[in-house]
């Protein structure tokens, strides 16, 4: 009962922080979760409010970056939904994300090898996100909103990696080479991104 009440209060808080959508629609500026970044005008790394020392930076001096308030909303919603979906205490989920560093860029990356969601090994794929370690992820900024990025996907890798005591983050996803990732995780990410879309994050 207490958990449900806490969830309702958290969702109400996040809803109040989210931009209102009037009858005439919302401008791309108002709905945007990203902004231009220049290291000559701002510090290279910033802390995300209402998180346990989660930090954010860009890959390049001139780039795009998530707005800190929007990223904070997205991460808080992620913790709430993941905790409920996987029956894990919310404080434990936060502990697994403690001091996570999120690196972002509008410039895509390629890697030598990577697994797709079904566990198939692919050579030289373009990637939209990477879990580089249990405390460092990279996310490509594709559009003006966070729901279209791989943020939730990479956060799931971090939680699995931390749950495996730092051994691996299950890089082959639903494949059988590594353990941790299940079809439930894939479904969770898809449904969570729909929630972000509903909140215009």
Structure tokens at 170: 């299950």
Give the model's pLDDT for residue 159: 98
The answer for residues whose C-beta is within 8 angstroms of residue 8's C-beta and 6 or more apart is none
Give the position of tokens 């051994």. Answer: 167
Q: Say if residues 128 and 157 touch (Cβ distance below 8 Å).
A: no
Give the model's pLDDT for residue 12: 41
Q: What angle do CA 22, 201, 130 make, to 5 degrees?
A: 165
Q: Say if residues 53 and 99 touch (Cβ distance below 8 Å).
A: yes
Question: How much is the pTM?
Answer: 0.85
Q: Which sequence spans correspond to the domains of the chain?
A: 34-198
For the stretch 2-50, pLDDT in tens is 444 445 444 444 443 443 333 223 234 448 999 999 988 777 799 999 9
How many beta carbons lie within 10 A of that of residue 17, not counting itself? 15
Give the model's pLDDT for residue 20: 32
Q: What angle do CA 116, 119, 140 make, to 5 degrees?
A: 25
């Amino acid at each position: 009962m207490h958990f449900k009440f806490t969830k309702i209060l958290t969702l109400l808080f996040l809803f109040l922080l989210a931009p209102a959508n009037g009858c005439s629609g919302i401008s791309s500026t108002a709905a945007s979760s990203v902004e231009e970044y220049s290291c000559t005008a701002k510090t290279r790394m910033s802390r995300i409010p209402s998180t346990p020392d989660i930090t954010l930076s860009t890959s390049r001096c001139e780039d795009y970056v998530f707005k800190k308030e929007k990223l904070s909303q997205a991460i808080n919603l992620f913790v709430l939904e993941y905790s409920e979906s996987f029956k894990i205490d919310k404080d434990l989920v936060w502990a697994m994300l403690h001091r996570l560093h999120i690196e972002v860029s509008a410039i895509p990356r390629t890697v030598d090898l990577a697994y797709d969601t079904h566990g198939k090994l692919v050579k030289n794929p373009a990637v939209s996100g990477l879990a580089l370690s249990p405390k460092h992820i990279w996310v490509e900024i594709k559009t003006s909103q966070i729901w279209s990025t791989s943020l939730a996907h990479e956060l799931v890798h971090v939680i699995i990696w931390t749950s495996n005591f730092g051994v691996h983050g299950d890089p082959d996803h639903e494949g059988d080479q590594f353990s941790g990732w299940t079809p439930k995780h894939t479904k969770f990410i898809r449904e969570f991104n729909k929630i972000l879309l509903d909140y215009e994050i």
